[in-house]
Amino acid sequence: MRIYVTSVLVDDQARALDFYTNKLGFVVKHDIPMGAHRWLTLVSPENPDGTELLLEPSEHPAAKPWKTALVEDGIPATSFMVDDLNAEYARLVSLGVSFTREPIDAGTVWMAVLDDTCGNLIQLIQMKGS
């Protein structure tokens, strides 16, 4: 068994697509119209056949309170791994990305947390020793 797709609930698919591709660097795998929304998945350009990230509309009534509670408590919706956290942090800051937590030592990893502009906090991690 393998993970095929994982979701992040977004307030606006178009804004999320812009942020996740033009800022974070993911590439579109599938963009299929589905009524008012799209089946919109992204992948890492480093692993185009890997796990897909679904930019899922946060239309369910439970989504907004859940996302709000996570953000208020500083809890990331998901995590992405990077090879060089300090370089990625500097690159993203230069693109105007807002961080709620600058890079810190978090035990077995280096960690930072950014705001995805679509209602989520996203954690970036770098494994120590890499």
Q: What pTM does this model have?
A: 0.94
Q: What is the pLDDT of residues 91-109, one digit of tens each?
A: 999 999 999 999 999 999 9
How far is residue 28's CA from residue 96's CA, in Å, rounded to a whole number? 22
What Rg, from alpha-carbon coordinates, does the chain have?
15
3-state secondary structure 104-115: EECCCEEEEEEE
Structure confidence at residue 4 as a pLDDT band (50, 70, 90): very high
